[in-house]
């Protein structure tokens, strides 16, 4: 369709092409076509992205994997927080901006987690819970016959991008603990804070170093179309030169033209 549209506009169809018929060898050739290709933007799983970044001699814009976190603060609107975690986890589970870890302030855990667990279990989400989170919902899971949807969290869960109906859940004592957890395990993609406390909001926004920070919103909004950038090329987790959702403007570069009349620099 894109090639047909280019032809209809009087442009060469080969402005858009595919190397799919060449398979893995074609992808390898792209990575080593320095001087012929300006930039590669790998889209796919963590393994593919790592391979391109490590092996390519062509410049790469790294669109990283998304181990995204949602932190429910002590001052969160808990009803809204249930809707947000359900959307962030289940609206489309296989994408890089789906939530993979839920962090809950200890003072909100006993009120929030039972309601959140019910809503998530209704959609088949398996909760990988630490001891404190499990204590809030274990009796409920047993009474509802949903014990298979509640398992013990392991260290590996905190660093896993599931891409499935699985969610790691941890209770933290303070916002500092939540930020420390995110710093340790995040891939720098998208993190969300749910709170009505402006001080907590500002601390989270300033101290969490990710491409996108959501305040009282789902992680699913990290998207070029949602943020007004048009068709999305990817979501960059690097810092040079593009970061976050990328539209076509992220692939443009600057050309300087200096006109003189015999000027020399003193």
Query: How buried is 77 (Cβ within 10 angstroms: 0-12 exposed, 13-18 middle, 19+ buried)?
Result: middle
As a whole number of angstroms, the distance between CA 160 and CA 68 comes to 10
Domain with CATH 3.40.309.10 in the chain: 68-221
When the pLDDT of each residue in the chain is averaged and rounded to a whole number, the result is: 94
Write down the pLDDT at residue 262: 85
Find the radius of gyration of the CA atoms of the chain: 22
pLDDT for 230 equals: 86
- Under CATH, which number does the domain 68-221 receive? 3.40.309.10
pLDDT in the model for residue 65: 82
- Say what the pLDDT of residue 48 is: 83
Strand pairing of 126-129 and 190-194?
A: unpaired
The residue assigned the tokens 């790691």 is: 168
CA gap 55, 51 in Å, rounded: 6
What is the Cβ-side half-sphere exposure of residue 27, based on CA atoms within 13 angstroms? 13
Low-confidence ranges of the chain (pLDDT < 50): none
Supply the pLDDT for residue 249: 87
pLDDT of residue 192: 97
Residue with tokens 């009349």: 261
pLDDT, position 214 = 97
Nearest to 251 by CA among 95, 65, 60, 66: 60
Question: What is the pLDDT at residue 43?
Answer: 82
Residue in the block written with tokens 């969290």: 153
pLDDT at position 24: 86
Please give, one letter per residue, the 3-state secondary structure of the chain: CHHHHHHHCCCCHHHCCCCHHHHHHHHHHHHCCECCECCECCCCCHHHHHHHHHHCCCCECCCCCCCEEEEECCCCCHHHHHHHHHHHHHCCCCCCCCEEEEEEEHHHHHHHHHHHHHHHHCCCCEEEECHHHHHHHHHHHHHCCCHHHEEECCHHHHCCCCCCCEEEEEEECCHHHHHHHHHHHCCCCEEEEECCCHHHHHHHHHHCCCCEEEECCCHHHCCCCCCCCCCCCEEECCCCCCCEEECHHHHCCCCCCCCCCCCCCC
What's residue 50's pLDDT?
86
Reported pTM: 0.89
């Amino acid at each position: 369709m894109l090639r047909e549209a280019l032809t209809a506009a009087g442009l060469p169809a080969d402005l858009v092409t595919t190397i799919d018929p060449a398979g893995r060898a074609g992808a390898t050739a792209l990575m080593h076509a320095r001087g012929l290709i300006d930039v590669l933007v790998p889209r796919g799983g963590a393994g593919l992205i790592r391979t391109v970044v490590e092996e390519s001699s062509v410049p790469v814009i790294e669109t990283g994997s998304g181990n995204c976190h949602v932190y429910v603060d002590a001052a969160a609107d808990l009803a809204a927080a249930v809707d947000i975690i359900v959307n962030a986890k289940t609206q489309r589970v296989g994408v890089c901006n789906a939530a993979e870890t839920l962090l809950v302030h200890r003072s909100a855990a006993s009120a929030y987690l039972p309601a959140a667990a019910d809503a998530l279990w209704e959609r088949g989400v398996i909760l990988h819970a630490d001891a404190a989170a499990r204590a809030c919902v274990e009796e409920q899971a047993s009474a509802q016959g949903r014990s298979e949807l509640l398992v013990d969290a392991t260290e590996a869960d905190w660093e896993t991008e599931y891409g499935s109906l699985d969610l790691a859940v941890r209770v933290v004592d303070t916002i500092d603990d939540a930020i420390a957890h995110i710093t340790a395990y995040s891939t720098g993609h998208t993190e969300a804070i749910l709170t009505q406390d402006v001080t907590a909001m500002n601390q989270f926004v300033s101290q969490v170093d990710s491409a996108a920070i959501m305040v009282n919103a789902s992680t699913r909004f990290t998207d070029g179309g949602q943020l007004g950038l048009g068709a999305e090329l990817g979501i960059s987790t690097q810092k040079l030169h593009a970061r976050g959702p990328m539209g076509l403007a992220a692939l443009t570069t600057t050309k300087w033209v200096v006109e003189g009349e015999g000027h020399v620099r003193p």
